[in-house]
Amino acid sequence: MIRPIITYPDRRLFLRSSEVERFDDELHRLLDDMYETMMAKNGIGLAAIQIAVPKRALIINLPDEEGHQHKEDLLELINPVILQQEGSQLYTEGCLSIPEVYEEVERAQWVKVAYFDRHGNERTLEAEGLLAVAIQHEMDHLDGHLFIEKLPYLKRKRIEKEYRKRQKRGSAQTPVRNL
Ligand code: Y12
Ligand code: CO
């Protein structure tokens, strides 16, 4: 089921999500819904809090060189923890919860992550480049952080002002229904 994505400045995006304790059908339904929702919105990564579920679960499905996403490449990370990180890289990030904002952010170039899969098996993963960026971006969501918080103060203020203006314009164009 496709679920609504909550968008900035919704306060729930700033919550710390709780550990997943049960690797049951409810978790599997959540992960399946996250995948359906992410694909429907042309995303490559999504954290559970973005569909208003404050659980430490995230998914990532990076496209291949031709821009196609394959479900076999889907990563599901439950209760992830960064064990090691090295280097730095700049990447222009976007987020389904902050539509139309794309900004360059600095992240570690390489990370090693421990996590659980949907069945509760412990796993580790080493990632670099775009996958490392995606993991760090989504893990920030689990702690209630957004990529715009990493921008310099004045840049963030300018972006927030433009974003609010766009939101106002958008809602002004939405017809009010008389119920
Ligand atoms: C690198 C950088 C960031 C991430 C986190 C995952 N981010 C996304 O999946 C963002 C997706 C996104 C998709 C949008 O929709 C379309 O392009 C059709 C979009 O569009 C608008 O805002 C209008 C914005 C973001 C992983 C790796
Ligand atoms: Co995001």
CATH topology of domain 11-169: Peptide Deformylase (3.90.45)
Q: What pLDDT score does 170 carry?
A: 87
Query: Which residue is associated with the tokens 């796993």?
Result: 123
pTM of this prediction?
0.95
Longest CA–CA separation in the chain, Å: 56
Q: What pLDDT score does 171 carry?
A: 75
Ligand sitting nearest the alpha carbon of 107 = 1
Q: What pLDDT score does 174 carry?
A: 59
Ligand sitting nearest the alpha carbon of 94 = 1
Q: State percent of the chain over pLDDT 70.
A: 96
Q: Per-residue pLDDT tens for 41-65?
A: 999 999 999 999 999 999 999 999 9
Q: Per-residue pLDDT tens for 78-125?
A: 999 999 999 999 999 999 999 999 999 999 999 999 999 999 999 999
CA neighbor of 31 nearest in space, from 126, 153, 116: 116
Identity of the residue numbered 42? N
Buried b (16+ CB within 10 A) or exposed e, 130-145: ebbbbbbbbbbbbebe
Residue 179's pLDDT band (boundaries 50, 70, 90)? very low
Radius of gyration of the chain (CA): 17
User: Is 50:5 a contact under the CB 8 Å cutoff?
Assistant: yes
pLDDT reading at 177 higher than 60: no
Task: Say how many Å lie between the CA of residue 148 and the centre of ligand 1.
Answer: 14
Burial class (CB in 10 A: 0-12, 13-18, 19+), 58: buried
Q: Is 20 in the pocket of ligand 1 (CB under 6 A)?
A: no
